[in-house]
Amino acid sequence: RDKWSKKMDFLLSVIGFAVDLGNVWRFPYICYQNGGGAFLIPYTLMAVFGGVPLFYMELALGQFHRTGAIPIWKRICPIFKGIGFAICIIGLYVSFYYNTIIAWALYYFYSSFSGTLPWASCDNPWNTPDCTNYFGRSNVTWTNFSRSPAEEFYTRKVLEIQKSGGLYDIGGIHWQLLLCLFLIFTIVYFSLWKGVKTSGKVVWVTATLPYAVLLILLVRGATLPGAWRGVVFYLRPDWGKLLNTAVWVDAAAQIFFSLGPGFGVLLALASYNHFHNNCYRDALVTSAVNCLTSFLSGFVIF
> Looking at residues 142-169, what average pLDDT do you find?
85
User: Does 98 reside within a domain?
Assistant: yes
User: Does 253 reside within a domain?
Assistant: yes
User: Does 2 reside within a domain?
Assistant: no
Q: Is 116's pLDDT higher than 90?
A: no
User: Does 99 reside within a domain?
Assistant: yes
Query: Residue positions in the annotated binding site for Na(+)?
Result: 16, 18-19, 23, 258, 290
> How many structural domains does the chain have?
1
Pick the range with the lowest mean pLDDT from 71-85, 93-107, 123-137, 205-219. 123-137
| pLDDT for 251 | 92
User: Does 180 reside within a domain?
Assistant: yes
> Looking at residues 147-157, what average pLDDT do you find?
90
pTM to 2 decimal places: 0.83
User: Does 1 reside within a domain?
Assistant: no
User: Does 119 reside within a domain?
Assistant: yes
Q: Which candidate, 6, 5, 78, 11, places its Cα nearest to that of 270?
A: 11
Q: What is the pLDDT of residues 26-78, one digit of tens each?
A: 888 888 888 888 889 999 999 999 999 999 999 999 999 988 888 898 888 88
Query: Residue positions in the annotated binding site?
Result: 16, 18-19, 23, 258, 290
Q: Please name the residues in contact with 299: beta carbons below 8 A apart, sequence gap of 6 or more.
A: 218, 221, 222, 230, 231, 234
Alpha helices in the chain (DSSP H): 7-18, 21, 27-33, 40-46, 52-65, 69-76, 82-111, 149-152, 175-191, 196-206, 209-222, 227-235, 245-259, 265-270, 279-301
Pseudo-torsion of CA 17, 70, 95, 262, nearest 10°? -50
User: Does 268 reside within a domain?
Assistant: yes
Q: What is the pLDDT of residues 222-275, one digit of tens each?
A: 888 888 888 887 888 888 889 989 999 999 999 988 888 888 899 999 999 999
| pLDDT for 225 | 84
Above pLDDT 70, what percent of the chain?
A: 99
Q: Is 121's pLDDT higher than 90?
A: no
> Looking at residues 285-296, what average pLDDT do you find?
91
Residue 282 in contact with residue 77, Cβ under 8 Å? no
Domain boundaries, position 260: 7-301
